[in-house]
Structure 1
Amino acid sequence: MHSESHPPLRLAWTVWGLGAALYIFGFFQRVAPGVMTTELIADFDLTGAELGSLSAFYFYSYVAMQIPTGLLADSWGPRKLLTAGALVAGLGSLCFAFADGLFWACTGRLLIGGSVAVAFVAMMKLSSHWMALKHFSLASGMALFLGILGAIFAGTPLRLLVSSFDWRPVMLISSLFPFVIAALIWIIVRDDPQERGYSSYAPATGIEEPRVGVIAGLRQAFTYRNTWLLSLAPGALAGSVLTFAGLWGVPFLTSHYALSAPLAAATCSAMLLMWAIGGPLLGSLSDRIGNRKPVYLVCCAVIAAAWTLVIFLPELSLIFLIGLLMMIGFASGGIIIGFAYVKESVPSNLAGTASGVCNMGVMVGPMLLQPAVGWVLDSRWQGTTNAGTRIYEAGAYRAGFSLILIWAVLALICLALTRETNCRQRP
């Protein structure tokens, strides 16, 4: 027994990393439709709005699960939650791979989104028990980094695999991954180091705190102004990246900048990579200066400015456009600051609930923007097609992407109204 010592860092990161494996798979599935647009449109005979809705079904269930996930992570425990999530993710992936129509494809996406939704909050719960407080921001940043690695694999590598083997066999093989994750989580992961004979990093009072119901927990969390402000803002950051790189970027770049599908996918992957790099760097900067609000505000301002240039300067050179997209990706990494910010804004016993609410706000962005952009594209479609796929004019894309800019401005307003925590947990 090692009850007087904390767990070795290697063991702590292993436990956390198995939760991260499900998060990686979730990111892979989150953006996979973006490089399979031609195949999905052909197989299911989709309009732009229908394609946006198919992709967004992932986010519908993901968002719906965030509040229950926060509460379950506080009461049921990460181990059971992650194991069940991985099993359902595997079933959803199989459903999507074998779908013979739009209904079953949407059902598969719905199951995947709802199941992988448990990963982030469960990972953060594990980190609060298995790691020292000083590692929390690092764990948050690494979560985004690893998740986006999954999204990057859903870029050019997935595009090349789909071109060689078609999308269904590739999705079928990928569905085996979450079943393996489920088995490893059940065998290795424990909710608290004390179950392995080590001392826990969780506050002693946290283990014995009474549980609150869903409604009571939400009511308490929302009495703190930062909870709802920090839940409205991050949709702009996630929406900027996932609406473009996760769905509409490839058709936009292939039709209006004459890029090949693999090169367009590589551009979107690079945008995601910048998101991954920006997360830990911006989170570390916030920790170093001891403030959350100014860094988060600058990130949103950069995103709004970059989208303004993309939208209102339509004759951009390809190099300048790619530079702006990379800037948007990097600045969107500031979303990591929001998780530490909202956690510090409420008492520790509400941290899981507040994190769930904040993560719900993150996913509301792409959930609404992906189909909304598709609807705008359809409303401005001039009837042009290529091999049965709709081709949209540049002006239609500018109108659709204007929705992202509007949300970025809203995020700036929300963040301006937040109260700084100075990187200290509220008592």
Structure 2
Amino acid sequence: MSQLDKNKIKKLMTYRYVVWGVLALAYIIVFFHRLAVGVVKDELINAFDITGTTFGNLGSTYFYAYMLMQIPSGMLADSLGARKTVTVGTLVAGIGSMVFGYAPTVFWAFCGRLLVGLGVSVVFISILKVQSEWFKESEFGTMSGITSFVGNLGGVFAKAPLVIMVGYLTWRISFAVIGALSIVIAILCYLFIRNTPEEMGLPSITEIEGKEVKKSSGKKPDLLKGLRKVISNPKTWPGFVVFAGFFGAFVTLSGSWGEAYLVEVYNIPKVKAASYTMSAVLGLAVGSIVIGRLSDAIKKRKLPMMVFGVIYVICWTALVFLNGGKPPIEILMPLLFILGFTCSVFVLGWAYAKEVNPPEIPGISTSVVNIGGFFGAALLPPLLGKVLDRFSDSIPPIELYHKAFMYSFISVVIGFIFIFFIKETNCKNIYKG
């Protein structure tokens, strides 16, 4: 290998973290918007005079947009590439955040939330696409976990720090500021992201790993044909259901109704309540990186999903049933942290999706599985909102939230059952065609 080749490899190994880092900044914004609405629930209800059901639908608008955009996001990532896709998406999200912040009516709040969901929906799939081009196959689970960890920092900012920010700036100005920051990040995306090492005249990861490099015909993959392959592959769907069940339940707690539950059941201040749900988000962040790394280290996907999935079910069992739905406050912080930590096992579903489908369309395969999480996250919060609206005047808060969170518990159990249908890949692509 020549000195020039060594220099190119060194540059690739360095610059890939620049590409990933800028994308990670965009992903922090994704998570902020994912969980921020729950923190300003009271402000939104007062500003627009809406019910709990309408609030749940307002929060879910993000997830519906995100969910519907996952397959188009995969196609965009596999055709236009991450650079253009994320730049435009983050720009749209920034505009949407400003529209949401200055919405004169609830209609415009829904419009802003829709734009945010559409904009941020393209970020994660593009990150997975970039990881498949800039990182080794053996690093994919680890990098997916690190990505989820960094993204969850946005969820942390959407808890107690956002409560403090809203206290100083009002909720409207806070969301406008986040919108402006999103536009700055969009500019950084265009300046620094490159879709593949080859765009910079660098060798591909495949070449560095010593694998056979297939000569390209110059044609783009047939995306519709690829989509049909992914959808018709029965191995795709267990990961979809696991993500839907686990993440849908997590969002009802961390992004929609968790703070209200803690304030009304435990009679604690709003900032303190936000710090409790923040522990769940921190757990998700830490778990993402630990579980992703562990999976790559032991060369297993199904085993860690099964082990941590059991603990996740136990955590929800304690939250919903222990002491009638009011666990002792002394154990609440660690319980929520462990709940978030073990929920993060869904990150393995993205690597699994890539490993059971054609290797040339990682964007599409991961996007189909990714729909599952946002289907659950869109469906459950309004469902809980209907329960809360219907029974809030007739039963005590502890019984009220026990009844509502029962739907989250059922969602988790369904997700866990589908882990049994996951096929072990040993961290390699096993697609047979």
TM-score of the superposed pair, with normalisation by structure 2 = 0.93
> What residue is the counterpart of 2:81 in the other structure?
77
> Is 1:331–2:348 an aligned residue pair?
no
SS of structure 1 residue aligned to 2:361: helix
Structure 2 counterparts to residues 95-110 of structure 1, below 5 A: 95-110=99-114
> What residue is the counterpart of 1:88 in the other structure?
92
Structure 2 counterparts to residues 162-311 of structure 1, below 5 A: 162-201=166-205, 204-205=213-214, 207-208=216-217, 210-213=219-222, 215-311=224-320
CA change 1:213–1:195 in 2 (3 A) is closer
SS of structure 2 residue aligned to 1:205: coil
> Is 1:373–2:384 an aligned residue pair?
yes
Deviation at 1:209, TM superposition (A): 7.4
Inter-partner Cα distance in structure 1 for 2:301 and 2:236: 14
**1:145-189, Cα deviation, whole Å (9 max, x unpaired):** 111101101111110111222100111111111111111111121
> Which deviates the most, 328-337 or 130-139?
130-139
2:119 to 101, 115, 122: 115
Inter-partner Cα distance in structure 1 for 2:216 and 2:48: 50
CA RMSD of aligned residues (A): 1.9
Residue ranges of structure 1 left out of the alignment (5+ in a row): 385-391
2:70 to 66, 71, 75: 66
> What residue is the counterpart of 1:389 in the other structure?
none
Deviation at 1:207, TM superposition (A): 5.0
> What residue is the counterpart of 1:129 in the other structure?
133
2:30 to 2, 26, 30: 26
SS of structure 2 residue aligned to 1:316: coil
Inter-partner Cα distance in structure 2 for 1:264 and 1:112: 26
Deviation at 1:137, TM superposition (A): 1.7
1:209/1:349 contact within 8 Å kept: no
> Is 1:345–2:349 an aligned residue pair?
no
1:382/1:393 contact within 8 Å kept: no
> What residue is the counterpart of 1:387 in the other structure?
none
Inter-partner Cα distance in structure 2 for 1:413 and 1:16: 34
Deviation at 1:132, TM superposition (A): 2.4
SS of structure 2 residue aligned to 1:100: coil
Structure 2 counterparts to residues 29-68 of structure 1, below 5 A: 29-68=33-72
> Is 1:159–2:163 an aligned residue pair?
yes
**1:210-253, Cα deviation, whole Å (9 max, x unpaired):** 54555432220123222111111112222232210111111110
> Which deviates the most, 96-105 or 185-194?
185-194
Deviation at 1:202, TM superposition (A): 5.0
> What residue is the counterpart of 1:12 in the other structure?
16
> Is 1:411–2:410 an aligned residue pair?
no
1:150 to 140, 151, 154: 154
2:304/2:345 contact within 8 Å kept: yes
Work out the percentage of aligned pairs sharing the same amino acid.
35
2:312/2:342 contact within 8 Å kept: yes
Inter-partner Cα distance in structure 2 for 1:235 and 1:151: 19
1:155/1:269 contact within 8 Å kept: yes
2:239/2:419 contact within 8 Å kept: yes
Deviation at 1:29, TM superposition (A): 0.9
1:221/1:350 contact within 8 Å kept: no
> What residue is the counterpart of 2:144 in the other structure?
140
Deviation at 1:66, TM superposition (A): 0.3
1:24/1:149 contact within 8 Å kept: yes
Amino acid aligned to 1:339: W
SS of structure 1 residue aligned to 2:427: coil
